[in-house]
Amino acid sequence: MTALDARPDTAMTLRFPAGFRWGTATAAYQIEGAAAEDGRTPSIWDTFSRAPGKVRNGDTGDIAADHYHRMREDVALMRRLGVTDYRFSVSWPRVQPTGRGPAVQKGVDFYRRLVDELRDAGIRPVATLYHWDLPQELEDAGGWPQRETAQRFGEYAGIMAEALGDRVATWTTLNEPWCAAFLGYGNGVHAPGRTSPLASLRAAHHFNLAHGWAAQVLRAALPPSAEVSLTLNLHAVRAHSDSPADLDAARRIDAVGNRIFLDPVFHGRLPEDLLRDTATVTDWSFVLDGDLAVASTPIDSLGINYYSPTVVAAGASESPSPWAGAEQHVRFLPAPGPRTAMDWPVDADGLHELLVRLRDDLPGVPLVITENGAAYDDYADPSGEVKDPERVAYLHAHLSAVHRAIEDGADVRGYFLWSLLDNFEWAYGYSKRFGIVHVDFATQRRTFKDSARWYAEVIARGGLT
Contact 414, 368 (CB under 8 A): yes
Q: Which of 117, 371, 390, 457 is catalytic?
A: 371
**Tally of CB atoms within 10 A around 273:** 16
Q: Rounded to whole angstroms, how far apart are CA atoms 410 and 439?
A: 35
DSSP for 65-120 reads: T-HHHHHHHHHHHHHHHT-SEEEEE--HHHHSTTSSSSPPHHHHHHHHHHHHHHHH
Cα 52 to chain centroid, rounded: 26
Residue 322, classed as helix, strand or coil, is coil
- Is 155 annotated as catalytic? no
Calpha distance 27→31 (Å, rounded): 7
Nearest to 207 by CA among 235, 183, 236, 237: 183
Report how far apart, in Å, the C-alpha atoms of 403 and of each of 17, 41, 81 are. Answer: 9, 43, 21
Output the CA torsion 301→80→340→46 (10° steps).
Answer: -70
What is the 3-state composition of the chain as percent helix, strand, coil, each rounded to the nearest 5?
A: 40, 15, 45
- Give the C-alpha separation, 415 to 406, whole Å: 12
Q: Let me know: does 431 contact 56? Beta carbons within 8 Å.
A: yes
| DSSP 8-state secondary structure symbol assigned to residue 421 | B
DSSP 8-class letter at 135 = B
Residues 23 and 417: beta-carbon distance below 8 Å: yes
Please confirm whether the linkage preceding 336 is cis (ω < 30° from 0).
no
Q: Which of 32, 176, 327, 353 is catalytic?
A: 176
Q: Which residues pair with 126 in a beta bridge?
A: 87, 170
Is 227 annotated in the active site? no
Residues with catalytic roles: 176, 371
